[in-house]
Amino acid sequence: MSKGHSWFDRLTTNGILCPLSYLLKRLFLRVDIPPFLCDNLDMYVLGTAGHIDHGKSALVKALTGIEPDRLREEQERGMTIDLGFAWLKLPSGQEVGIVDVPGHERFVKNMLAGVGGIDLALLVIAANEGIMPQTREHLAILDLLGIERGIVALTKKDLVDDEWLELVAGDIEELLKPTCLSGAPIVPVSAITSEGLPQLAAMIDRLLAETEPKKDIGRPRLPIDRIFTIAGAGTVVTGTLIDGSFSVGDEVEIVPPGLKSRLRGLQTHKARVNTAAPGSRVAANIVGITTTQVVRGNVLTKPGWLVPTTLLSARLRLLDYIRRPLIHSTTVSFHTGAAETMAKVRLLEKEKLQPGETGWAQLVLEEPVALVKGDHYIIRSPMETLGGGKVIEAHAKRVHRFRPATIEALKAQEGGAAEASLLVLLQSKQPLELRELAAQSQLPPGQVKAVMDSLIQEGRAMALGEGEHRAFFTSSGWSLLTTEASAVVKEYHHKYPVRSGMPRVELASRLRMTKYAPQLFPRLVSEGILGEEGLAVRLPSHQVKLNPAQQAKIDAFLKSLAQNPFSPPGDQIPEPDLLNLLAEQQKVVKVSDSVVFSVSAYNIMVDKIIAHIKKNGKVTLAEVRDLFNTSRKYAQAILEHLDEKKLTRRVGDERALY
């Protein structure tokens, strides 16, 4: 194997079936596609759904030529157990990733791990059997997850006549009406004869052309649904990328465990890419992490922003066909993205929620899960899906039940009213502290804090400092402030080219941020907006540039100091900017307006004076004059300087150690 092969090129040589021997030859083989072509395509993912043995995997294989059942047991039993993956090149040239899910009721939790990030649902129903239990359950899950685009593939049409096909299609239309897939097209197909497959591919193409690409909001999340290792490459994780992009070389974090790593390589569909776009199926080769450290449901993201939660507030809708109500404090399995954990449901308005009802709840998670406001979730009993909804508050505090104010606050967060009012307030005047936001918005401080924390997590706001005195900005407001800070410092550099930086206090005043200066400058420095220079700040690119005349003046002054180290001439002291530059460069020490020593001479004088006092208990001005064979002027200047520095203190006409 040539050294130039990518890490995925090695997969088929290792005897690993993941979907390896055939799928990875098709899915991940290196091809000569310029990376920039891959990096800029809109990417989509299609997910199958449907009852066991209705032909989901067979249909995927017929469409793509790829066997999605990657496990030997699946192929031997003819039953999908875990997630399978493939890709399809559509008539338009657009490529779509495919997640094939199991249909058996025992493996619904595996199905849930695969459908969270899909753009288009392919609900597979066998024409000879029609609507079955997992047809209903999978459709209900798609509805709870808010997946609004879908196609029904009416498979095995070769086994029935046209009249029967029409009857089944009518039943399906009625089934879809109350769901988000109402009106979805129904395409009869046969994986055996290939009849209807071109029409199905064309329909997928048309619906994806009408589908808005996943947004890049700068906070990439890859819910991990597969983990494996490749000899010579290391650990590989896969998932559907949402909310942002990844690039090779990015520093990343795996949440909840908090493992830090770096992206060694990225693949999407059949090609290596430099950048993976949101909405694509991604395989990420991560550095320094073993497969035993990662589990399905962990999230790969950029470091420092995604905080796992164990308590969330949510809108909860129960399915109308479940057999019994959901009682307060019931323990359920909780699913979001590819994650699964047990959870206790705290109903906030009722003691029990009836089938088909919607209510407010808090979910207490047994294990931490990485999620954000707006994520969808599903709850299940051991063998059936109960309901689900949308996360309204990702990091909630336990609240009292049956409190109207609590419900109103959650409704405001759901509708975005609280978010909108707080953002409007900040846009009119920022920064504002928590108490100011609460007073001006007339919202409870607890609600304001929760909403602002959510906005910060979503990247729509930011805060300086910690605790109750945090100063909040909108993201755009902070961007404007950093732009203004850069412009002010740039202007200062232009006006004073030989100064190493602008005093912090002056910049804080110009920005009208004096109150928040202690929090402001560390943030500006950490974000790379400014650099530090003692008590001053500068642009990261700034360098002091002296003209020939200035350089000559400095050289002459330093030469004069070297010639008369303890009696330096006062008539060659350069102007304040040049003198301050020399002081910052630790070449000179200014002890008075008319006396400047070189650093080496100053250190010698200080050491000898301190040593003399330690030996004799004191020192006089005359003794200092004689120690350095200098005049009274310089002896007095150094002694008064040491008094100011609190190294010595004056006792009559003598000095003692401070």
Predicted confidence (pLDDT) at residue 436 exceeds the cutoff of 90: no
The angle that helices 417-428 and 434-441 make with each other, rounded to 10 degrees, is 110
pLDDT, tens only, 418-432? 888 788 788 878 999
* Cα first-last separation, the chain: 76
Token output for 106: 């025992």
Q: What does the pLDDT average to over 276-294? A: 94
Give the mean model confidence (pLDDT) for residues 74-90: 67
For residue 474, the surrounding DSSP H or E stretch is: strand 471-474
Tokens 């808010």 belong to residue: 146
Rounded to whole angstroms, how far apart are CA atoms 5 and 30? 7
Length of the chain: 658
More confident residue, 383 or 166: 166
Amino acid at 605: M
Q: Taking the mean position of all CA atoms in its chain, how far away is CA 416?
A: 22
User: Across-strand partners of 503?
Assistant: 536
Mean pLDDT of 303-329: 94
- pLDDT digit string (tens) for 452-474? 988 998 889 999 988 778 999 99
Residue 551 has pLDDT above 90, yes or no: no
Confidence label for 12 from pLDDT (cuts 50, 70 and 90): very low
3-state class of 228 per DSSP?
A: strand
Question: How do the domains of the chain map onto residue ranges?
Answer: 44-209, 309-407, 416-545, 555-657
pLDDT tens digits for 324-364? 999 999 999 999 999 999 999 999 999 999 999 999 999 99
CA torsion, points 585, 590, 595, 600, in degrees to nearest 10? Answer: -50
pLDDT over 60 (residue 14):
no
Residue with more model confidence, 647 or 498: 647
Average confidence (pLDDT) over 44-73: 84
Tens of pLDDT, residue by residue over 511-542, are 999 999 999 999 999 999 999 988 889 999 88
* C-alpha dist (Å) from residue 244 to 278, 301, 460, 545: 5, 9, 14, 41
Signed CA dihedral, 479, 483, 488, 490: sign only? positive
Characterize 625-655 residue by residue with b for buried, 16 or more Cβ atoms within 10 angstroms of its Cβ, and e for exposed. Answer: bebbebeeebbbbbbbbbeeeebbeeeeebb
pLDDT digits (tens, 9 = 90+) for 595-612: 999 999 999 999 999 999
Dump the DSSP string for 590-609.
EEETTEEEEHHHHHHHHHHH
- Could you tell me which CATH class the domain 44-209 is placed in? alpha beta
- Does residue 648 carry a pLDDT above 90? yes
In the prediction, which pLDDT does 498 show?
84
E-assigned strand segments in 58-169: 84-89, 95-100, 120-126, 150-155
Rounded to 5°, the CA angle 502-505-510 comes to: 80
Residue % of the chain over a pLDDT of 70: 90
- pLDDT digit string, tens, across residues 19-51: 333 333 333 333 333 333 333 345 799 999 999
Rounded Cα distance between 512 and 250, Å, is 36
**Would 416-545 and 555-657 be classified into the same CATH topology?**
yes
Binned at pLDDT 50, 70 and 90, residue 543 comes out as confident
Specify the pLDDT at position 82.
65
Residues in Cβ contact with 229 at an 8 Å cutoff, skipping those fewer than 6 apart:
235, 236, 290, 291
User: How large is the average pLDDT for residues 97-111?
Assistant: 73
Average pLDDT, the chain: 87
CB 260 within 8 A of CB 253: yes
Token pair listed for 4: 């130039």
Please tell me the distance from the alpha carbon of residue 457 to that of residue 7, in angstroms, as a whole number. Answer: 34
Q: How far apart are CA 52 and CA 138, in angstroms?
A: 11
309-318 and 358-369 strand pairing:
antiparallel
Q: Report pLDDT for 8.
A: 42
Q: Is 141 a residue whose pLDDT tops 90?
A: yes
Domain at 416-545: CATH architecture: Orthogonal Bundle (1.10)
In angstroms, the CA 86 to CA 272 distance is 16
Longest CA–CA span in the chain (Å) reads: 121
The C-alpha angle 39, 223, 360, rounded to 5 degrees, equals: 125
Joined together, the tokens standing for residue 177 give 């009406």
> What angle in degrees, to the nearest 10, is found between the helix axes of 108-115 and 133-144?
30
Tell me the CA distances in angstroms from 598 to 144, 546, 601, 602, 642, one per residue in order.
76, 20, 5, 6, 16
Tell which CATH classification among 2.70.98.20, 3.40.50.2300, 2.40.30.10, 3.40.50.2020 matches the domain 309-407.
Answer: 2.40.30.10
Instruction: Give the pLDDT band of residue 139 (cuts 50, 70, 90).
Output: very high
Rounded CA separation 381/311 (Å): 19
Cβ neighbours of residue 594 under 8 Å, at least 6 residues apart?
570, 573, 637
Taking residues 274-299, what's their average pLDDT?
A: 95
- Antiparallel, parallel or unpaired: β 281-286 and 531-533: unpaired
Taking residues 622-640, what's their average pLDDT?
A: 93
pLDDT at 617: 93
| pLDDT reported for residue 577 | 82
Share of the chain above pLDDT 90, in %: 62
Give the separation between CA 394 and CA 308, rounded to whole angstroms: 9
Backbone angles phi, psi at 587, to 5 degrees: -105, -25
84: pLDDT confidence band, cut at 50, 70 and 90? confident
| One-letter amino acid of 176 | L
Comparing 198 with 500, the larger pLDDT belongs to: 198
Phi-psi region of 629 (alpha: psi -120 to 50; beta: other; left: phi over 0): left
Q: Of 469, 319, 478, 305, which Cα lies nearest the Cα of 394?
A: 305
47: exposed, middle or buried (Cβ count in 10 Å: 0-12, 13-18, 19+): buried
Report yes or no: 561 and 598 within 8 Å, Cβ to Cβ: yes
Res. 479 pLDDT band, cuts 50 70 90: very high
| pLDDT tens, residue by residue, 211-231 | 988 888 788 999 999 999 988
Which pLDDT does position 415 carry in this prediction?
77
How far, in Å, are 267, 407, 468, 474, 475 from residue 437 at the CA level?
45, 21, 11, 13, 16
Residues 114-128, mean pLDDT to the nearest whole number: 90
Per-residue model confidence (pLDDT) at position 105: 58
CATH says 555-657 is which class? mainly alpha
